[in-house]
């Protein structure tokens, strides 16, 4: 490792409409080091990597990026690849039905007059595959390999592009422990061969194991860079920097009135929809009481959404195991229809593709779950439908010129209220809300918190999945912490701190 900087980011600020994703970020990557980057969801890590790799072209941000000491003018990802940068995304970018070596040279294979020499490429691929330690024959179709091996193919692909700086975005998120170990070892080896790596990871243990230096980001700012060789960096130090923001009165006051347990789930496991042996949720058990707001925290990919969707009428996964009890009696939900009928509501985190029907109006979106209730002999009663929609427009303060407005024309916060209305109209007893305040502004957030508190006060049980720790602490009566498909523990309202939750999740 030298003291020369392969990459230097100087005062970079990047804004999206309404959000400042990066705020005056500066840091350096030294040639030949492994540089860890840590931060909560939404801290700006992905946006930063987008700026570095040309996903966000020059001119769309302020500040400068220097590569090998020269200012970079990347207009696209291709430009950054030319100077030896490669990024490996969380979702793999391989073409599933092509072979290993076809994938490796896709888009940058050398041709003679536009003609490919496949034999030559096959030969070349062997060398790179040996370097990453992949023993499968290069003709193997990538979809037949596990995620871990596919990742190795991605790295081999990066090496074949003469990459000098490799950015790995959550590379171990979908790997098991053994595969993760192997991948980290490989990164160390490649470092010894002269490759520079940026490692973005939620798993602090991994970062601490391999990184030479670690930069912590929070709220779009680079908070601090640690040198692992000169300082004694600990998990606690990193976590403190990651969450160290002030809690204000962002959450409405409430006086919990909690009753007996209403809904209980025992030993629930969910299997991946495509890889049928892989457990996405492993032996999860929890319960929720009357009038209680339950928080579910954990990093992305912890299995929270998958757990809830699987409970909500088998909406996720190839299969599931476990039992659910409503009022002490075992209960099965065959479909979302069945779950809604038996008193469970679910509001998806993905408003646009799983929540709303964007080409329909506010009224129709609100009534879609409850049409049988609003009709006689299968004919929809317009009057009652309009009354119901108007009721929720007023009580949830949905800002729309009329209930016949198309929902695609509403703001994110108002769209969220429409989805909530739809679920509430079906009168759920157990109300599962998945990231209810994602992507909406502060004012609308407060309104949604108030709605949830009111529901709890009416005796409904609320399960709130959230990635924002302050939100969980400000709203929830109890917090379940999940990571890697398992429930890691539960914290009461009084004892939950951001550090505590992070420690629990990453333990």
Partner 1 sequence: MADNSLTSNTMSFGQLLKKNVRSYSMFIMLTLIFVVFAVLTGGINFSPRNVSNIFMQNSYILILASGMVLVIIIGNIDLSVGSIAAFTGAIAAMVYNTGIGLIPTIIVTMMVGAVIGVWQGFWIAFMGVPSFIVTLSGMLLFRGLTYVITNVSPISLRDEGFSKITSGFLNSEALMAGDVSLLPWVVGAVLAVILVGMSIQAREKRRRKGFVIAPVSALILRNVFVVALIAILSWKFANFRGVPIVGVVLAIVVTILTFVTNRTVFGRYVYAVGGNKRSAKLSGINTELVEFFVFVVMGSLAGLAGLVFAGYMNSALPQAGQLFELDAIASVFIGGASMSGGIGTVIGAIVGGLVMGVINNGMSLMNIGADWQYVVKSLVLLLAVFYDIYTRRKAGLA
- 320-326 and 329-331 as β-strands: parallel, antiparallel, unpaired? antiparallel
Six-digit token pair at 205? 């243990």
Q: Considering the complex, what minimum distance in angstroms separates the CB of residue 366 from partner 1?
A: 10
Nearer to partner 1, 102 or 306 (CB): 306
Six-digit token pair at 403? 């209930």
Does 279 sit near partner 1 (CB under 8 A)? no
Q: Considering the complex, what minimum distance in angstroms separates the CB of residue 439 from partner 1?
A: 17
Concatenated DSSP letters for 209-236?
A: HH-SEEEEEETTEEEEEEETTTS---HH
Spatial separation of the C-alpha atoms in residues 156 and 145, rounded to whole Å: 15
Look-up of token digits 């990557």: 29
**Residue 383: count of CB within 10 angstroms of its CB:** 9
Spatial separation of the C-alpha atoms in residues 238 and 215, rounded to whole Å: 9
Does 402 sit near partner 1 (CB under 8 A)? yes
Which residues face 431 on adjacent strands?
345, 462
Does 315 sit near partner 1 (CB under 8 A)? yes
Closest CA to 194 of 77, 31, 64: 31
Q: H or E element: which one contains 365?
A: helix 362-367
Six-digit token pair at 47? 């946006």
Q: Which of 30, 157, 218, 422 binds partner 1 (CB under 8 A)?
A: 422
- 293-297 and 461-465 as β-strands: parallel, antiparallel, unpaired? parallel
Nearer to partner 1, 358 or 490 (CB): 358
Residues within window 426-465 making contact with partner 1, judged by CB under 8 A:
426
Q: Considering the complex, what minimum distance in angstroms separates the CB of residue 382 from partner 1?
A: 8
Look-up of token digits 């990919």: 301
Does 178 sit near partner 1 (CB under 8 A)? no
Does 162 sit near partner 1 (CB under 8 A)? no
Nearer to partner 1, 28 or 369 (CB): 369
Q: Which of 357, 427, 454, 507 binds partner 1 (CB under 8 A)?
A: 357
Residues within window 360-379 making contact with partner 1, judged by CB under 8 A:
360, 364, 367-369, 371-372, 375, 378-379
Q: Considering the complex, what minimum distance in angstroms separates the CB of residue 380 from partner 1?
A: 6
Does 416 sit near partner 1 (CB under 8 A)? no
Does 395 sit near partner 1 (CB under 8 A)? no
Using the rule CB under 8 A, give the single segment among 154-162, 191-199, 282-290, 346-354 that binds partner 1: 346-354
Task: Assess contact for 12 and 21: CB atoms under 8 A.
Answer: no
Using the rule CB under 8 A, give the single segment among 324-332, 401-409, 438-446, 461-469 that binds partner 1: 401-409
Does 310 sit near partner 1 (CB under 8 A)? no
Does 380 sit near partner 1 (CB under 8 A)? yes
Nearer to partner 1, 332 or 399 (CB): 399
- 430-434 and 344-347 as β-strands: parallel, antiparallel, unpaired? parallel
Q: Which of 383, 443, 458, 494 binds partner 1 (CB under 8 A)?
A: 383
**Residue 443: count of CB within 10 angstroms of its CB:** 9
What are the start-end ranges of the E strands in 89-242? Answer: 111-112, 115-116, 165-169, 196-200, 213-218, 221-227
Nearer to partner 1, 85 or 398 (CB): 398
Region label for 331, one of left (φ > 0), alpha (ψ between -120 and 50) or beta (otherwise): beta
Residues within window 42-61 making contact with partner 1, judged by CB under 8 A:
none
Does 237 sit near partner 1 (CB under 8 A)? no
Dihedral sign, Cα of residue 332, residue 335, residue 337, residue 339: positive
Q: Considering the complex, what minimum distance in angstroms separates the CB of residue 390 from partner 1?
A: 9
Q: Which of 95, 143, 162, 404 binds partner 1 (CB under 8 A)?
A: 404
Q: Which of 27, 105, 296, 346 binds partner 1 (CB under 8 A)?
A: 346
Q: H or E element: which one contains 262?
A: strand 261-271
Closest CA to 134 of 106, 121, 147, 153: 153
What backbone phi and psi angles, to 5 degrees, belong to 479? -125, 120
Using the rule CB under 8 A, give the single segment among 129-137, 277-285, 319-327, 393-401 that binds partner 1: 393-401
Does 318 sit near partner 1 (CB under 8 A)? no
Using the rule CB under 8 A, give the single segment among 149-157, 199-207, 358-366, 436-444 that binds partner 1: 358-366
Spatial separation of the C-alpha atoms in residues 8 and 26, rounded to whole Å: 8
Kindly determine how many residues on this chain lie close enough to bind partner 1 according to the rule CB under 8 A: 39
Six-digit token pair at 340? 């809604």
Q: Which of 99, 222, 400, 453 binds partner 1 (CB under 8 A)?
A: 400
Spatial separation of the C-alpha atoms in residues 138 and 432, rounded to whole Å: 46
Tell me the three state secondary structure of residue 153.
Answer: helix
Nearer to partner 1, 268 or 346 (CB): 346
Does 247 sit near partner 1 (CB under 8 A)? no
Using the rule CB under 8 A, give the single segment among 60-68, 172-180, 341-349, 460-468 that binds partner 1: 341-349
Nearer to partner 1, 390 or 499 (CB): 390
* Burial bucket for residue 415 (CB in 10 Å: 0-12, 13-18, 19+): buried
Does 267 sit near partner 1 (CB under 8 A)? no
Q: Considering the complex, what minimum distance in angstroms separates the CB of residue 143 from partner 1?
A: 20
Q: Which of 146, 386, 439, 486 binds partner 1 (CB under 8 A)?
A: 386
Closest CA to 365 of 438, 314, 278, 423: 423
Tell me the three state secondary structure of residue 334.
Answer: coil
- Summarize as ranges the residues that interact with partner 1 (CB under 8 A): 312, 315, 335-337, 339-341, 346, 348, 353-360, 364, 367-369, 371-372, 375, 378-380, 383, 386, 399-402, 404, 406, 409, 422, 426
């Amino acid at each position: 490792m030298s003291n020369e900087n392969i990459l230097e980011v100087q005062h970079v600020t990047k804004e999206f409409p309404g959000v400042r994703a990066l705020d005056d970020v500066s840091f350096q990557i030294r040639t030949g080091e492994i540089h860890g980057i840590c931060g909560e969801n939404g801290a700006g890590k992905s946006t930063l990597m987008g700026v570095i790799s040309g996903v966000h072209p020059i001119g769309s941000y302020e500040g400068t990026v220097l590569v090998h000491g020269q200012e970079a003018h990347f207009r696209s990802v291709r430009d950054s690849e030319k100077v030896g940068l490669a990024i490996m995304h969380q979702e793999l970018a391989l073409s599933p039905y092509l072979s290993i070596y076809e994938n490796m040279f896709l888009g940058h294979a050398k041709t003679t007059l536009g003609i490919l020499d496949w034999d030559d490429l096959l030969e070349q691929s062997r060398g790179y595959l040996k370097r990453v330690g992949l023993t499968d024959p290069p003709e193997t179709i990538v979809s037949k390999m596990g995620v871990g091996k596919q990742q190795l193919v991605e790295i081999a692909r990066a090496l074949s592009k003469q990459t000098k700086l490799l950015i790995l975005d959550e590379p171990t998120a979908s790997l098991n422990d053994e595969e993760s170990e192997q991948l980290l070892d490989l990164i160390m080896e490649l470092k010894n061969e002269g490759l520079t790596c940026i490692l973005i990871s939620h798993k602090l243990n991994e970062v601490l194991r391999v990184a030479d230096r670690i930069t912590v980001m929070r709220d779009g700012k680079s908070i601090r860079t640690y040198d692992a060789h000169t300082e004694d960096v600990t998990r606690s130090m990193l976590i403190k920097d990651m969450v160290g923001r002030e809690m204000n009165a962002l959450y409405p006051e409430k006086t919990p009135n909690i009753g007996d347990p209403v809904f209980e789930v025992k030993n629930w496991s969910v299997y991946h929809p495509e890889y049928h042996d892989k457990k996405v949720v492993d032996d999860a058990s929890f319960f929720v009481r009357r009038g209680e707001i339950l928080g579910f925290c954990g990093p992305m990919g912890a299995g929270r959404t998958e757990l809830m969707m699987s409970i909500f009428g088998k909406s996720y996964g190839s299969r599931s195991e476990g039992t659910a009890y409503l009022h002490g009696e075992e209960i099965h939900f065959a479909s979302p229809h069945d779950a809604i009928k038996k008193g469970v509501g679910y509001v998806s985190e993905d408003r646009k593709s799983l929540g709303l029907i964007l080409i329909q109006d506010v009224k129709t979106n609100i009534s879609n779950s409850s049409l049988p209730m609003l009709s006689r002999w299968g004919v929809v009663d317009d009057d009652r439908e309009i009354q119901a929609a108007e009721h929720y427009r007023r009580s949830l303060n949905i800002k729309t010129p009329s209930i016949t407005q198309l929902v695609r024309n509403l703001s994110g916060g108002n769209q969220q209220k429409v989805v909530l209305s739809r679920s509430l109209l079906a009168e759920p007893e157990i109300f599962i809300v998945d990231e209810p305040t994602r992507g909406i502004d502060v004012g609308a957030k407060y309104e949604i918190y108030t709605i949830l508190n009111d529901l709890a006060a009416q005796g409904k049980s609320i399960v709130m999945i959230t990635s924002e720790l302050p939100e969980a602490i400000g709203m929830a009566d109890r917090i379940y912490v999940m990571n890697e498909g398992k429930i890691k523990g539960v914290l009461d309202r009084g004892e939950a701190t951001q550090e505590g939750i992070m420690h629990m999740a990453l333990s």
